[in-house]
Structure formats: structure tokens, C-alpha cells
Amino acid sequence: MIVYHEFRMLRDIITEVGEERDMIGNEAVKHFFADLRNHYYDYVRTKRESVAKLKAEKAQLSARHATNYVTSKIESSIKSTKTVSLLM
């Protein structure tokens, strides 16, 4: 059975980790799942920080793009005003 095999693998992993840390039984199981939970929360925290950083970079690039757009419009307006003045 697939489920039995997967639980057997999990038990073997917990046993191996427990032996490395001189733990047996429930203590090893609790420690294993506590470590797993900590790794999960660290992973989620890291991903959230990455997303926040990317959003900040996006906002910064959008602001820079808007500034460049406005600057180019002002410069083209100034050029067209100079051209009209020269023609008069």
C-alpha cells in the first residue's frame, strides 16, 4: 500500500533524526514536527519579505517611469514653445 509505505518512510526519518539527537518515541516525533513547523514559518517569512521587496521595487520603478514621462512631456512642450517663438 502506498499510504503504508509513506508512513513507514516518515517513521524511518523521524527515527533517524531522533537517533542523531539521542531522542526516542514521542520526544523525537515532537521535535521533528517542531523543526518542520519552524522551517515552514521561516520559509513563509522569507517569501513574504521577498514579495514585499519586489512590491517596493515595482513602486519605485513605477514612480521613476512616471517622473520620466512627465519630464519628457515638459521637455517636448518647452521645445515646441521655442519652435513657435522662433517662427514668429
When divided into structural domains, the chain yields a total of 1
> Which residues touch 31 (CB under 8 Å, ≥6 apart)?
17, 18, 21, 23
86/88 Cα distance (integer angstroms): 6
Percentage of the chain beyond pLDDT 70 is 88
Of 6-15, 49-58, 67-76, the one with minimum mean pLDDT is 67-76
The number of beta carbons lying within 10 Å of the beta carbon of residue 32 is 19
pLDDT of amino acid 30:
92
Domain containing 63 equals 2-87
Indicate the average pLDDT of the chain. 85
Mean pLDDT over 52-63 rounds to 90
Cell of 55: 512590491
User: 67 falls in which pLDDT band (50, 70, 90)?
Assistant: confident
Dihedral over Cα of 60, 62, 64, 67: its sign: negative
pLDDT of amino acid 29:
92
User: 51 falls in which pLDDT band (50, 70, 90)?
Assistant: very high
The residue among 77 and 31 whose pLDDT is bigger is 31
